[in-house]
Amino acid sequence: MDKYEYANIGLRCGLEIHQQLAGKKLFCNCPAEIVEGPPLLRVRRWLRATASETGGVDQAALVETERRREFIYNCYDRETCLVELDEEPPHPTNLEAVKTALRVALLLGMTPVDEAHCMRKIVVDGSNTSGFQRTILLAIGGSIKTSYGEVSLSTLCLEEESAKIVETGVDRAVYNLSRLGIPLVEIATKPEIWHPLQAEEAALRIGEILRAVPQIRRGLGTIRQDINISIDGGARQEIKGVQEPSLIPKLIDREIQRQKSLIYIKEELSRRGVKPEQFDTVKPVVLTEVFRDTKNSLIRNTIAGGGVVLGLLLPGFGGLLGFEVQPSRRFGSELADHVRVHAGLGGVIHSDELPGYNIGEDELKLVKEKLGAGDGDGFVLVFGEMWRCEKAVEVVAKRCAAAAVGVPSETRQALEDGNTSYQRPLPGAERMYPETDIPPAKISKELLEEVKATLPELPEERMERYVRLGLPRELARKVVCSPRVGVFEEVVRRSGANPVLVATTLFETLTSLRREGVPVEKIGVDDVVEVLKLVAKRDVAKEAVPELLS
């Protein structure tokens, strides 16, 4: 049974599927491989938001600049060069990556553009040394079918992957530069998905088609989904970094819950007569002396280290700061997210959770007196360096003012439990502008004919072929959906063995051996081929395969 009447609440979802490609990087000759371990060298940078060609500054970029973080980039021998460091211009676009992206587009029924233009997308969170990501629109249109109806596709872009985050903190972030520049296909649907399970189906279908293309990278982290969600009375949210399609329905349901909760908070504030402009005039109050001898060790240690405690009155917010917006998350959690991102503090303490945190009744009474808090009011406490605390109360006031208006549009991070956390404002139109180092390129008829001649089978076509080879339909589906489908084809070709035996060996026998403690990761393709050759020649019985492989 559905959790919500999705059609009645006006649920609208769109997906962005990102898939890494194999081979070389998009704008240099470095291999598209991610390496770990000690770097060859480290480079330190700072990034700042600048005005675009239209004269505006993207708000998401401005937020990152205000965090004042430094960025450390780990560089490697073969996998990074001066292009990744932004010390030389990009090389000509990787033609093989363009061909692969066009193969994906044609398999999805999309229409390639006549001329490809490279654009710059401003990103100053440190994930790109240049402060922008290059992206090329290659195809538009197309659709996929789901049991809930057809989903139209919007665009297919070829992009450069971002650097991989290694560690992040208040003052700095460390990135692995070997991932930067790996070709990335981005497929965007139109925002017409109306049911959470339809979103999951659409993601799985696009994933199936991507896996049909041999030139994609496979394994953990090579594909990810972003979800755009809105409901009637709410606002568009972009949820980033969804690794598993199975998590999509849960994320959507919980985002619906969050937006409905925020709509309730807005309506309750309206009933209480709270206006957004009230938060323009509330001023923070220094409460350091109130907590000089507090039993709260975090606050006490902060004061001992030269830090301060600030309090901010939130008129009309009594009881709403503790209102649940998602399971185990309250409106106070939303405020804490903003404080962590914008001010670099660990969070906030709010009035709905006091007394608590070793803050007693006497301290609470003094705080209310100094802030002038009435029965229906709320407040927050922040502690740390003065400039961070001042920034924290500023963003809390801004977020509470927004709560009185409705649901603000945000970019949010997917969490493993199905909840989301605030990441940054949604980017605006100022984010994109033309790339000046990459000239436009014609998508010629000759290129498209070459791509069409090398199109792989669609998943359903491949599955029917496997069924004709004798595989039971369920086993055929398992092979088609597996990242080892290429290994299956190779072993069938090289061993001459019955395809059913090959599939059973790869997808059932090896699984059983792993459960028995056999180190199957040491069994290579050549080992499987040699054993199955013996069966094909009738030198051994097929029943001996598990013993020979172990």
What's the confidence (pLDDT) of residue 486?
84
Mean local confidence (pLDDT), 192-217: 94
One-letter amino acid at 145 equals: K
458, exposed or middle or buried, with CB in 10 Å at 0-12, 13-18, 19+?
middle
Q: Is the pLDDT assigned to residue 52 strictly greater than 70?
A: no
Ordered DSSP codes for 151-206: EEEEEEEEEEPPPEEEEE-SSEEEEETTSTT-EEEEEEE-S-B-SHHHHHHHHHHH
Are 297 and 377 within one domain?
yes
In this predicted structure, what is the pLDDT of residue 484? 82
Q: Is residue 261 part of a domain?
A: no
Same domain membership, residue 286 and residue 223: no
Return the CATH number at 346: 3.30.1360.30
Q: How far, in Å, CA of 406 to CA of 236, rounded?
A: 12
Mean pLDDT within 414-433: 88
What three-state secondary structure class fits 73? strand
pLDDT over 90 at 69, yes or no: no
pLDDT per position as a tens digit, 334-346: 999 999 999 999 9
Q: What percent of the chain has pLDDT over 90?
A: 79
Its domain, for residue 510, covers 458-549
Phi-psi region of 318 (alpha: psi -120 to 50; beta: other; left: phi over 0): beta
Tell me if 518 is assigned to some domain. yes
Is the same domain home to 230 and 272? no
324 and 181 both lie in a single domain: no
Please check whether residues 183 and 61 belong to one and the same domain.
yes
Mean pLDDT of 199-212: 94
Query: Does residue 297 sit in the same domain as residue 397?
Result: yes
Instruction: Give the list of residues 6+ apart from residue 301 with CB closer than 8 angstroms, or none.
Output: none
Tell me the pLDDT band of 53, cut-offs 50, 70 and 90: low
d(CA 322, CA 318): 9
Give yes or no for residue 288 having a pLDDT over 80.
yes
Residues 47 and 129: their CA atoms lie apart, in Å, by 8
The answer on 463 and 396 residing in a single domain is: no
Q: Are 125 and 169 in contact (CB under 8 A)?
A: no
Q: Work out the burial of residue 108: count CB atoms within 10 Å of its CB; fewer than 13 is exposed, 13-18 middle, 19 or more buried.
A: buried
Q: How confident is the model at residue 294 (pLDDT cuts 50, 70, 90)?
A: very high
Structural domains of the chain, count: 3
The pLDDT of residue 153: 98
Same domain, 155 and 81: yes
Q: What is the pLDDT of residue 327?
A: 97
pLDDT of residue 1: 64
Is pTM, for the whole model, over 0.85?
yes
Mean pLDDT, residues 191-208: 96
Is residue 59 scored above 90 in pLDDT? no
Regarding whether 401 and 499 lie in a shared domain, the answer is: no
253 lies in some domain: no
pLDDT value of position 54: 66
Same domain, 133 and 203: yes
Residues 346-386 have pLDDT tens digits of 989 999 999 889 998 999 999 999 999 999 999 999 999 99
Which two tokens mark 151? Answer: 């989903």
Instruction: Look at the block and give the residue holding tokens 């309730």.
Output: 264
Q: Does 206 lie in the same domain as 134?
A: yes
Query: How far lies 232's CA from each of 7, 12, 42, 74, 220, in Å?
Result: 10, 9, 48, 45, 35
Q: Is residue 262 part of a domain?
A: no
103 domain-assigned: yes
Asked if the structure places residue 226 within a domain, the reply is yes
Q: Which H or E run includes 390?
A: helix 386-405
Q: Which residue has the tokens 């109806």?
A: 149
**Is residue 439 one of the residues assigned to a domain?**
no
Q: Does some domain include residue 355?
A: yes
CA distance 191 to 202: 12
User: What is the per-residue pLDDT for 238?
Assistant: 97
* pLDDT surpasses 80 at 428: no
Q: Is residue 424 a contact partner of residue 341, using CB atoms and an 8 Å limit?
A: yes
Opening angle at CA 523, ends 521 and 527, nearest 5: 165
Mean pLDDT computed over 95-118:
98
- Residues 55 and 201 both lie in one domain: yes
| pLDDT tens digits, one per residue of 151-175 | 999 999 999 999 999 998 888 899 9
